[in-house]
């Protein structure tokens, strides 16, 4: 079942890179008491994700925060080392929190996983964005396969 507006996020654990190495963070660690713009991509270093999706949120970070977003987070079914390298490559810095969903547990739990096997990618996340307030989904924008419109930073910013 796909998560919808008004639903609470399921409990899940992501991995993030810290100065001391990989570290687990729970959904509560990321979302409790905050307004978070979360976006998901099918894969780090993939064309649309690297050319438009993550760069858009990095570029629009100040504007999103000016409209009440406390944190911007990106998740993908990639390991923590790949997400860290991609974030550094894209200049995410402190603007976008990189959340590795290495086993796809979060993607499955929110019902937004997809089978990328025909592209040699296995289980992945669909492309989407959501606005989460204190752990509850306030707004959700899920892309049609192959599209990149409603989950863009520009679209999310326009909807705030």
Q: Looking at residue 12, what is its pLDDT?
A: 96
Decide which of 120 and 104 is more confident: 104
Residue 2 lies in a domain: no
Residue 43 lies in a domain: yes
Distance from the first to the final alpha carbon of the chain = 26
Residue 15 has pLDDT above 80, yes or no: yes
Q: Looking at residue 42, what is its pLDDT?
A: 92
CA distance 108 to 78: 14
**Helix, strand, coil % over all residues of the chain, rounded to 5:** 30, 30, 40
CA distance 118 to 18: 34
Residue 99: give its domain's CATH number: 3.40.30.10
Could you say which of 30, 40, 44, 49 is catalytic? 49
How many structural domains comprise the chain? 1
Residue 1 lies in a domain: no
Known catalytic membership, residue 49 = yes
Closest listed residue to residue 95, CA positions, set 69, 38, 57: 57
Residue 74 lies in a domain: yes
Q: Cα 160 to chain center, whole Å?
A: 17
What values do phi and psi take at 113, rounded to 5?
A: -90, 165
On average, the pLDDT of the chain sits at: 94
Range of weakest confidence among 21-25, 84-88, 114-118, 122-126: 114-118
CB-based contact 98:87 (threshold 8 Å): yes
CA distance 96 to 24: 17
Residue 1 has pLDDT above 80, yes or no: no
Containing structural domain, residue 74: 7-159
Q: Looking at residue 57, what is its pLDDT?
A: 97
Residue 22 lies in a domain: yes
């Amino acid at each position: 079942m796909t998560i919808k507006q008004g639903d609470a996020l399921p409990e899940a654990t992501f991995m993030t890179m810290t100065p001391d190495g990989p570290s687990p963070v729970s959904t509560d660690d990321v979302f409790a008491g905050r307004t978070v713009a979360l976006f998901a991509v099918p894969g780090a270093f993939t064309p649309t994700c690297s050319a438009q999706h993550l760069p858009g949120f990095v570029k629009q970070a100040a504007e999103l925060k000016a409209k009440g977003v406390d944190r911007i987070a990106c998740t993908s079914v990639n390991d923590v080392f790949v997400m860290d390298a991609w974030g550094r490559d894209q200049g995410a810095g402190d603007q976008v929190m990189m959340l590795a969903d290495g086993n796809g547990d979060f993607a499955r739990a929110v019902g937004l996983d997809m089978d990328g096997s025909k592209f040699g990618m296995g289980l992945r996340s669909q492309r989407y964005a959501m606005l989460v307030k204190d752990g509850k989904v306030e707004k959700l924008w899920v892309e049609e396969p192959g599209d990149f419109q409603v989950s863009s930073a520009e679209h999310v910013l326009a909807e705030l």
